[in-house]
């Protein structure tokens, strides 16, 4: 898996497809958007797979991005572009050992380290597949 991205609004499938195709430089035929990665694991010829889940929080959409080949290296720039294209904000891992800090990304150069309350996610209550 490349990255989990927690989005501050629900994106339509068309919006999500447009944003991901733009940042990864692929055509829509190379992208699969699915509610469950298990559905596509053995049968997909996609270069990028995006698993989607909804949850009942201020950031209601969780995206898990998978690559069939090498994942991109410039994660923050790409996620910043995604935010600018789709006019959204996202939360991603800050890669620290502290489970309560993450990065809030609002654009290419708009990053902020935040502290979050993970108790909202503990029981996976309210999660729904898209």
∠ at Cα 43 (128, 30), nearest 5°? 80
Domain ranges of the chain: 3-129
Dmax over CA atoms of the chain, in Å, equals 39
Distance, in Å, from the CA atom of 19 to the CA atom of 128, rounded to the nearest integer, reads 22
Q: Which tens digit of pLDDT belongs to each residue from 44-95?
A: 688 999 999 999 989 999 999 998 888 788 899 999 999 999 999 999 999 9
Q: Token match 């989005």: residue?
A: 7
pTM: 0.85
Q: Which of 37, 61, 56 is nearest to 48 (CA)?
A: 37
Distance, in Å, from the CA atom of 14 to the CA atom of 105, rounded to the nearest integer, reads 21
């Amino acid at each position: 898996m490349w990255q989990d991205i927690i989005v501050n609004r629900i994106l339509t499938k068309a919006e999500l497809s447009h944003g991901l195709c733009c940042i990864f430089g692929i055509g829509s035929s190379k992208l699969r958007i699915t509610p469950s990665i298990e559905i596509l694991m053995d049968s997909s010829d996609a270069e990028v797979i995006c698993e989607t889940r909804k949850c009942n929080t201020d950031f209601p959409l969780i995206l898990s991005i998978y690559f069939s080949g090498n994942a991109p290296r410039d994660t923050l720039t790409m996620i910043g572009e995604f935010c600018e294209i789709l006019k959204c904000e996202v939360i991603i891992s800050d890669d620290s050992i502290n489970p309560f800090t993450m990065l809030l990304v609002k654009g290419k150069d708009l990053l902020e380290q935040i502290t979050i309350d993970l108790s909202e996610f503990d029981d996976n209550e309210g999660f729904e597949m898209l």
